[in-house]
Amino acid sequence: MISLKTRIALVTGSSRGIGQQIALGLARHHCDVVLHGRMLDHCAATEKLVRGLGINVYNVAGDLGTEAGIQSIVRGVADGPGHIDILYNNAAIMNPWTPVCETPLPVWLQTLQVNLFAVIALCNAFVPGMRKRCFGRVINLTSGIKETPHLAPYGVSKAAVDKYSQELAVDCKETNVLVNCLDPGWIRTDLGGPNGMFPVETVLPGALVPALLEDNGPTGKFFSAQDFKYFD
């Protein structure tokens, strides 16, 4: 397990829910954090939680459903810490509960834009710098959802994230940029709904495992946050 002190992590969708817990966990490991929300003031609650932990905190804003929003995030990092070492692609949207053959194309496009294409765009923006610095951890959040055709756009987008992550991991092999997927479990959040199996706090400590991997450690793998109840 490496030290995250002096490292900088961007956590998309960290204004609440799973992203907020990940940012808090990173801060407890003395990692500087870049918080993200669609609007800057959305980050206030998370910023309040992590400010007292003796780290540097930066806020960026941008709608992952638009090219302008993605570029706003990239510029925010450039104007703030200047670079990141760890990227948590956490933000995602869920499509409305609709029979698969009745789901209109715009819903598919919107879901894929936020859940997949924004992930790719942020990796394109930040992974080359990680490679140059010979250090990087990319953690793309996925889902164990299956056999749920009424949520097909969401499920398909997450399956695509899995495949993309595997390909990126191969491309980054032997660069010490580790690319892995993280399934947080079915969590009771605004996205997961009130019937989720686990409270949001249970994503820790497991959600941090892919960020804490030793240099040149596992890559292209699938981690489940709920598999880890504690570690030293």
Domain residue spans in the chain?
8-227
Q: 170 exposed, middle or buried (CB, 10 Å; 0-12, 13-18, 19+)? A: exposed
197 contacts 182 by C-beta, under 8 angstroms = no
Q: 98 exposed, middle or buried (CB, 10 Å; 0-12, 13-18, 19+)? A: middle
Phi-psi region of 5 (alpha: psi -120 to 50; beta: other; left: phi over 0): beta
CA 30 vs CA 3, 4, 52, 86, 190: distances in Å: 8, 6, 11, 13, 28
Largest CA distance in the chain: 51
| Tens digit of each residue's pLDDT, the chain (232 residues) | 999 999 999 999 999 999 999 999 999 999 999 999 999 999 999 999 999 899 999 999 999 999 999 999 999 999 999 999 999 999 999 999 999 999 999 999 999 999 999 999 999 999 999 999 999 999 999 999 999 999 999 999 999 999 999 999 999 999 999 999 999 977 676 666 676 677 888 999 999 999 999 999 999 999 999 888 765 4
pTM of the model: 0.94
DSSP bridge pairs for 8? 32
CA angle 35, 38, 44 (to 5 degrees): 50
d(CA 152, CA 99): 8
What does the pLDDT read at residue 190? 65
Query: Which residues are designated catalytic?
Result: 154
For 8-227, CATH number? 3.40.50.720
Question: Pick from 12, 138, 121, 111: which is nearest to 67 by CA?
Answer: 121
What does the pLDDT read at residue 52? 87
